[in-house]
Amino acid sequence: MIVMKKLFPSYADPDRWRSPSEKTKLQSSDWKEIRLKILKRDDFTCQYCGYRAEKYQIVDHIDGNPNNNEDNNLQTVCQMCNLIKHASQGCVVKGIVELYKESKYTQNDIIRITREMRDQGKTDEEIIQFLGLENKFPFKMDLEYLKGLCGFVTSRSSRFGDDMYDRWKDYHNSVIKKKGEN
């Protein structure tokens, strides 16, 4: 059994958020080569929840520094875990992550169970009830505060409409549908 890294809501330091020039780096052949190497190393598998997909997985900078491309600072992360790891984007910017004080499960399990139940057609309300998520809390840029909370990735669409997370949801749903047809 593979041991998954412990996930909890956090955020990237705003001073390190990607500038327009750094976003351009993501289109470079150098970054694409590094990204593919890490995805292959990790077998396209999220290091937090074990979700495997050859499309829409993220290569994450563990220390939050987008310029530190050392292999030991890079990891494969799925869309859902990335929204929890970067809760400021999920909660505030995209508006699709909710934070709760109580749950019957760990954050890693919340992600896995949410994905499984959503694949079965369950609503957010049914999933929240099953997970025992209670006492909703607002996002604050405080790591100690966030470590005491659990994040839930809702089924809502991002405030931006055609967001990478929304494209991943469409892709994931098409994969699930194909599996059901076989």
Residues 67-76 have pLDDT tens digits of: 899 999 999 9
* pLDDT (average), residues 118-129: 95
pTM: 0.89
Q: What pLDDT was estimated at residue 137?
A: 97
In the three-class reduction of DSSP (H, G, I as helix; E, B as strand; rest coil), residue 7 is classed as: coil
Q: How many CB atoms lie within 10 A of CB 11?
A: 21
**For 9, how many CA atoms within 13 A lie in the half-sphere containing its CB?**
28
CA distance 149 to 82: 16
CA distance 182 to 166: 25
In the three-class reduction of DSSP (H, G, I as helix; E, B as strand; rest coil), residue 16 is classed as: helix
Q: Which domains does the chain have, with CATH numbers?
A: 14-83 (3.40.1800), 86-181 (no CATH)
Determine contact, residues 52/22, Cβ cutoff 8 Å: no
Backbone φ and ψ of 155, nearest 5°: -90, 0
Taking alpha carbons only, the member of 85, 95, 68 closest to residue 147 is 85
